Structure 1
């Protein structure tokens, strides 16, 4: 459970000598999403291993821009500093970031955005060693594709020169960013909290599906609704729970899409619900589905696997990689409602044959993505950036 307290010296007595890692990310708690989860889990595990950690983020959520969040808090033992911003959520301008990295030993930038460029172009002034995690770059949708490609080949290429390493969270990111960063591009796939929902799925096969994520264009919830329309014509028992928060689409937009297909009795929206509510929904489900056209890694799908849910995923590049790693994952073409519905039915039929075995298979498969090993990989890269003398005193997790 997230605990929020006024900001204070969260490092504790004697922690002054520990290296300070400043994580810079455009959105953080109370916002919820894959990016926020990655930074929160990494920050927590860095503290466990002896680092001091500060998260610098924007002072409002993109979904509630008029509501200003506290300037400083401590969340689960991690110092969080929030700064004002202007401009677009795609490229938020927040120049006060510089004052909050002055005492950093290393800066870790998450995402390819204003922070990535601004901290790179001022590196000679602030002098901080830096690494960055790509998180899919800015190619989540085909919108403005020509401009994005030009920006990537010019501005992003030049900015990348300021970073000791570019940490690519998927094989597709690795293929893309190695073109501009060569051997400074390093594959570090996202860690997944495999404990949060562990083993929660229904013990018996049920025609209930969960999907989780922001209501953004690339998630293609419209295609998932089309598949549901096919499924419910074949069986009235099918139900889909859609868990997420508004983004490109509002809850009203999605409700209208659901009603237009006559699915009001078969699709339920759950907007901005907490983890306890998500756990209850998973507990009544057997399948996870995602029609997303683009994913940087597929973190939520792996979380679903840890619960014992069987994923049926659109065959985007990241999900194809996941399916190659774990044969129990089903791929579908959600642009074809009939075909995707058949894949969902196939997954359900297989689960019905031996629910206990299939759930165990999914949970075991998710374990390879657990956070502990991923955090150690990040720390190895920090050591390379900082030098071994700087952090030789740090304890290991087992210490």
Structure 2
């Protein structure tokens, strides 16, 4: 099959959707299919690139003429008549998805949509978001031949506005990040957080708890690594903590893949205080790489991490001192070798090698009907 991926984000940008797309393309091609990627970009001339052996086309938009916003995209798809299907990645289900409301009948390809959590990842403007979701998104999404939910939460949410026969559940696939899955806990604990510093990730809480942990004990050796950007206050607090504990705290705004893998290999715990996740991809990635997950007590994450079986679940709404005391207690008594072994086994169920076969089954089924 020849598949055309349409998205507004792609490598070299870094994020959950970019990671998903990069892995999908690699494993889809490994099955013998062919893929090209079209990236809806800022207004500019058409450009072409090749990333990891895959053709990537950058399609300009026409912001000066709203009704012709995606006219260049339409012309591009018309020129790609030999492709069998189109897979759209637009979690907001607005401009890019609206394109197919107007032009779908002019395309012979089957058109798929992948959810990526929709636009509910923050608590802001929830009433407005639900109104848009129920009254506008529901109309737009009906124009796709099949919608693929990437998490159980998405499957339930999008099931409210689309019929069951047009909705499939394929939970996110993940790749192993680090090389060394066997972690050493005899010399202490190195806790890492990597990812976006967006408001729902609440990195500032991790910084406060790290400070409390370092103040509470000298008997347990603890180190903390923060990797990411996007929250100036959290970064300021990290640097302040680093100044007080230069050998225990590290911060990196951005690392390339090789250096990120090195930091994952040096760490033995991944932790997050996030209060919203569409899926929790970094948690599963860290588990697959041998890190013990410590996660906030929210439903999406507790579906991934079984407390005291595959990791630890903590209520990050408590005071930093109380959280630190609970963590120290759990760290001192936990059998980390057992947690690690079970966490790796659990994470492997989300391997892209198995998930891509689920995609192939769904796509083939829709193509044949």
Q: 1:76 and 1:122 mapped to 2: Cα distance? A: 31
1:259/1:269 CA distance change after superposition, 3 Å: closer
Moved over 4 A (4+): 259-264
1:35 match: secondary structure: helix
**Normalized against structure 1, the TM-score is what?**
0.80
The 5-angstrom pairing of residues 353-372 of structure 1 reads 353=335, 355-372=336-353
CA drift of 1:159 comes to 0.9
Match in the other structure for 2:332: 349
Q: 1:364 and 1:225 mapped to 2: Cα distance? A: 30
Which residue of 207, 210, 219 corresponds with 1:225?
Answer: 207
1:167 match: secondary structure: strand
The 5-angstrom pairing of residues 96-111 of structure 1 reads 96-102=72-78, 103=80, 104-111=83-90
1:81/1:326 CA distance change after superposition, 3 Å: farther
Q: 1:325 and 1:232 mapped to 2: Cα distance? A: 24
Q: Is the 8 A contact 2:174 2:350 kept in 1?
A: yes
Does 1:257 find its partner at 2:237?
yes
1:74/1:229 CA distance change after superposition, 3 Å: same
1:122 match: secondary structure: helix
Match in the other structure for 2:30: 48
Does 1:340 find its partner at 2:340?
no
CA drift of 1:333 comes to 1.7
Does 1:384 find its partner at 2:365?
yes
Q: Is the 8 A contact 1:286 1:309 kept in 2?
A: yes
Q: 1:367 and 1:350 mapped to 2: Cα distance? A: 26
- Number of residue-to-residue matches in the alignment: 352
**Normalized against structure 2, the TM-score is what?**
0.86
2:35 match: secondary structure: strand
Q: Is the 8 A contact 1:117 1:156 kept in 2?
A: no
* Ranges in structure 1 where 5+ consecutive residues have no aligned partner: 1-18, 88-92, 389-399
1:192 match: secondary structure: coil
Q: 2:242 and 2:25 mapped to 1: Cα distance? A: 44
1:74 match: secondary structure: strand
Match in the other structure for 2:66: none
CA drift of 1:75 comes to 1.4
1:180 match: secondary structure: coil
Q: Is the 8 A contact 2:28 2:34 kept in 1?
A: yes
CA drift of 1:350 comes to 4.5
CA drift of 1:277 comes to 1.1
CA drift of 1:119 comes to 2.2
Match in the other structure for 1:76: 52
Q: Deviations over 1:154-176 (max 9, x none)?
A: 11100111112211111111110
* Ranges in structure 2 where 5+ consecutive residues have no aligned partner: 64-68
CA drift of 1:257 comes to 2.6
1:347/1:107 CA distance change after superposition, 3 Å: farther
Query: CA RMSD for the aligned pairs?
Result: 2.6
